[in-house]
Amino acid sequence: MRRYGGLIGGLMTGFLVVGCSALPGLNRNAAQAPSTPPPSPTAPSVLSGQEATAIMKDYIERNNLANKARSDKLLAAYEGGSSLAIDKAGYASSRKLRKTIKHEPFGYTSPTFYPGTGGERPWLLTLAHWQRKKDISKEATYLLFTREGDGWRQVYSPDTFDGTSPKELPAIAKDASGAATEVGQDDTGLIMSPADFARNYAAHLAGKGGKAAGTRFATDLLAKNAASKRLEMNKFARVSEVTRATRYPSYAVRTADGGALAFTTFQRDRRYDVRQRTPRFYVFQRNSGLLPGKYYTNMKTTELVQVVAHIPAKDAKPGQVKVLGSYSGLIAGSGR
């Protein structure tokens, strides 16, 4: 499901958040959704390039069909984890708005595949560029798939930040068989384990990490924008925010420099208590069926945020974690 931006605004101001809207789909009946055959018990633990290409093709076809129908059932056939939660909420918002959408096919081009080595939860990491007609994104998207009993599910899809060249992204390590290796959440060979990253970055993203966060984390667009908008919105509403790691599975993959590429999901709960004055201020979520009105007293939002970050090895210099991209969406809200 392709992502677009939305705005939370007040009188004389605006607050940027990431929304989710359905993307044009293929001109096929929703009932004709392709099915991924269940994995063979004799299949090799490392996917071939042909198998990875087939997974990607199936994902794109299912994505287009589900977006065209705005069908939660079709969506759940190829997505899981926080991707499914974010995009289901996007469908619900779109249906409430009763938007009429012109459907056109989309896809991903120039994919690079990094299959996992198997184990209890086989996975496939892909780096590709989103495409519709002749429009191709300059920035790459990470797509992380995991295998379940009846097929593959896309569970992470963070877009790298605007202006990020694919050459700036860390190389993924591969063994002799061409497989990438999963890194444990409590790995001690990194400057910060993936589990510690999830806890520490949650506080940093909410502006509660303190001065120490400035030495642990390189400047990134997500945290920078969050801090900027908190300051901007403070003129119009008292903003309180709680950000925490979630129950959705996190993953980490070994990089060629000995570090790790980590994928995790955060939940951000925000409350805006509007400052009372004349003329009256209000806050609102633009283009959202979940928060369709203007709120003159308060507004609450719940958002899921996927991030991808590079965690260097313990002896790396400089030793800072860098968040490379994100994908997020509003999943709930209320106000008066």
Q: CA 283, CA 301: separation in Å to the nearest integer?
A: 11
- pLDDT of res. 120: 66
Contact 329, 86 (CB under 8 A): yes
Judged by DSSP in three states, 182 sits in strand
Q: Which residues pair with 333 in a beta bridge?
A: 301
58 φψ region: left (φ > 0), alpha (ψ -120 to 50), beta (else): alpha
327 within 8 A of 299, measured Cβ to Cβ: no
Residue 298, strand partner residues = 273
Beta-carbon count within 10 A of 35 CB: 11
> For the stretch 138-172, what's the b/e string if a residue is b when 16 or more beta carbons lie within 10 angstroms of its beta carbon?
ebbbbbbbbbeeebbbbbbbbbbbeebeeeebbeb
Beta carbons of 259 and 309 less than 8 angstroms apart: no
Under 8 Å CB-to-CB from 224, ≥6 apart: which residues? none
Are 165 and 156 contacting, i.e. CB atoms less than 8 angstroms apart? no
The single-letter code of the amino acid at 178 is G
Distance CA 253, CA 324 (A): 14
**Which of the 8 DSSP states describes residue 325?**
E
Residue type, 219: T
Ordered per-residue pLDDT tens for the chain, 336 residues? 544 333 333 333 333 332 232 222 222 333 334 444 444 444 446 889 999 999 999 999 999 999 988 999 999 999 999 999 999 999 999 888 876 767 788 999 999 999 997 556 789 999 999 999 889 999 999 999 999 878 999 999 999 999 999 999 999 999 888 899 999 999 999 999 999 999 999 999 999 988 777 789 999 999 999 999 899 898 899 999 999 999 999 999 999 999 999 999 999 999 999 999 989 999 998 889 999 989 999 999 999 999 999 999 998 887 899 999 999 999 999 999
What residue has token string 């599975």? 249
Structure tokens at 323: 């968040």
Can you give the pLDDT at residue 104?
A: 82
**Per-residue confidence (pLDDT) for residue 211, from 0 to 100:** 78
Type of residue at 172: I
Determine whether 87 is exposed, middle or buried from the number of CB atoms within 10 Å of its CB (0-12, 13-18, 19+). Answer: buried
The answer to whether 36 and 304 are in contact (CB under 8 A) is: no
- To the nearest 10°, the Cα dihedral for 51, 1, 309, 329? -150
Rounded CA separation 101/23 (Å): 8
b/e per residue 54-77 (b: at least 16 CB within 10 A) = ebbebbbbbbbbbbbbbbeebbeb
Per-residue pLDDT at 118: 55
Taking residue 2's Cβ as centre, other Cβ atoms within 10 Å add up to 18
Helix/strand/coil for 110:
strand
Q: For residue 259, what are the contacts with CB-CB under 8 A and spacing of at least 6?
A: 170, 190, 310, 311, 312, 313, 316
- Give the Cα separation of 311 and 316 in Å (integer): 10
Which letter, b or e, does each residue of 249-287 get, where b requires 16 or more Cβ atoms within 10 Å of its Cβ? bbbbbbbeeebbbbbbbbbbebbbebeeeeeebbbbbeb
